[in-house]
């Protein structure tokens, strides 16, 4: 069973690459971020045509998350309960007994920005949300764009990025508090190539120059992580014309979702 995540940076612009990736990889669930469209404008028919269901929390121009799945999800939930936030960043549903959350964490802009303070507040609320989710759903997967590079090895130039947004001590501590709940970074369960990144800026020819960061992650609860057999970053779509600045990340788990009745 393959669970994947991809910040597509506009689903309408990136529709064909996403459809191609689905056809090639057949994920049980694909978590999308940065839809940049409202639900009414989401290209649902294109996914229905290839056998996928969709749960969508859209937003005009910015944000927006979705769950594309081979079978319908149940108990959908949008947003972080009790956290008043107009930005569509979290959507969750259950597939069989597996709870999957697609998340688009705030960027923060810069460490001197109000958006950075919002990011840290948001992560506090998100941590509490995941703690409650873990108490209800032992088999939990949280996949998305976290906008945090957890360690120096996740950054092409740790010295240049030290203390900057995406790599600041406070952000890394916030990410660490998610792991302390009992979640595992599935990518780090396996031997990985050095300089493995999931995001490259559009500027300065960053992708071809290897100037990337690993900020897209698939976290899994202990019992779900024990079933993980592989995790990888697929850089192929990043080399296409008009790509998202992010590459899809996928994790393989033993077992499969039961067919829909």
Let me know if 145 is a catalytic residue.
Answer: yes
Annotated catalytic residue within 104, 129, 137, 146: 104
Distance (Å, whole) CA 4 – CA 237 = 14
CA-nearest of 63, 48, 50 to 144 is 63
Annotated catalytic residue within 52, 116, 129, 145: 145
Let me know if 104 is a catalytic residue.
Answer: yes
DSSP string, 44-105: HHHHHTTT-EEEEE--SSS--EEEEESS--EEEEES-TT----S--EEEEEETTEEEEEEE-
DSSP string, 168-193: -HHHHHHHHHHHTTTEEEGGGGS---
Q: Give the CA dihedral 260, 64, 186, 202, nearest 10 degrees.
A: 130
Catalytic positions, please? Answer: 104, 145
């Amino acid at each position: 069973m393959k669970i994947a995540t991809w910040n597509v940076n506009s689903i309408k612009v990136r529709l064909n690459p996403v459809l191609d990736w689905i056809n090639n990889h057949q994920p049980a669930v694909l978590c999308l971020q940065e839809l940049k469209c409202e639900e009414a404008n989401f290209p649902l028919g294109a996914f229905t045509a290839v056998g996928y269901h969709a749960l969508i929390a859209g937003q005009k121009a910015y944000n927006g998350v979705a769950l594309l799945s081979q079978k319908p999800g149940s108990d959908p939930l949008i947003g972080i309960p009790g956290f008043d936030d107009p930005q569509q960043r979290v959507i969750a549903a259950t597939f069989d007994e597996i709870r999957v959350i697609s998340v688009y964490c705030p960027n923060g802009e810069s460490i001197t920005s109000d958006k950075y303070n919002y990011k840290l507040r948001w992560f506090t609320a998100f941590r509490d949300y995941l703690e409650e989710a873990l108490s209800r759903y032992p088999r939990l997967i949280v996949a998305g764009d976290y906008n945090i590079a957890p360690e120096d090895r996740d950054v092409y130039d740790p010295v240049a990025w030290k203390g900057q947004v995406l790599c600041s001590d406070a952000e890394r501590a916030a990410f660490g508090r998610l792991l302390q709940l009992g979640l595992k970074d599935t990518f780090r369960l396996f031997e990985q190539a050095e300089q493995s990144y999931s995001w490259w800026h559009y500027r300065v020819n960053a992708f071809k120059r290897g100037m990337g960061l690993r900020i897209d992650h698939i976290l899994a609860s202990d019992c779900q992580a024990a079933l993980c057999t592989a995790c990888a970053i697929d850089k192929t779509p990043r080399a296409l014309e008009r790509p998202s600045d992010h590459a899809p990340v996928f994790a393989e788990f033993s077992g499969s979702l039961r067919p829909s009745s």
